[in-house]
């Protein structure tokens, strides 16, 4: 099996639950604490294409930074929204699991099972 990667925030209960679910099935997991090691714009673009989402759909719109940075402005481009996630990784929905050219958001945690089984 290809190595599983999880973009993880240890302070998030859903992220912890998803990681535990993965660890119960696989022990070769690449855990990336994305708040400490944010993905690049290219990596976020790739994740978006795997998920079939646009940038705003991957953003945590209830975070104060979303409003503070005026990211609710409908005139912002995909590139601008992606750049905001690079600069403020707290805005990225979590957790994201990547394996075998597929991606899933662990909300609920069980949703990642479809790409690892």
- The single residue of 12, 76, 113, 116 carrying the catalytic annotation is 12
101: Cβ contacts below 8 Å, ≥ 6 apart = 50
Q: What is the pLDDT of residues 48-76, one digit of tens each?
A: 999 999 999 999 999 999 999 999 999 99
Same domain, 43 and 87: yes
12 flagged as catalytic:
yes
CA torsion through residues 21, 48, 42, 55, sign: negative
Residues 45 and 76 in one domain: yes
User: Which residue range is the domain that position 43 belongs to?
Assistant: 39-92
Question: How far is the C-alpha of 113 from the C-alpha of 115, rounded, in Å?
Answer: 5
Kindly report the CATH number assigned to the domain that includes residue 80.
3.40.30.10
Question: Number of folded domains in the chain?
Answer: 2
Q: 10 Å Cβ neighbour count for 1?
A: 9
In tens, the pLDDT along 100-110 reads 999 999 999 99
User: pTM of the entire structure?
Assistant: 0.94
């Amino acid at each position: 099996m290809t190595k599983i990667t999880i973009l993880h925030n240890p302070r998030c209960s859903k992220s912890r639950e998803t990681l535990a679910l993965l660890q119960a099935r696989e022990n070769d997991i690449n855990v990336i604490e994305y708040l400490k090691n944010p993905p690049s714009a290219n990596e976020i673009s790739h994740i978006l294409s795997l998920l079939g989402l646009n940038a705003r759909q991957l953003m945590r719109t209830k975070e104060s930074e979303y409003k503070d940075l005026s990211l609710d402005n409908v005139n912002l481009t995909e590139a601008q929204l992606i750049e905001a996630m690079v600069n403020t990784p707290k805005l990225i929905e979590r957790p994201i699991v990547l394996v075998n050219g597929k991606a899933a958001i662990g909300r609920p945690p069980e949703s990642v099972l479809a790409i690892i089984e």
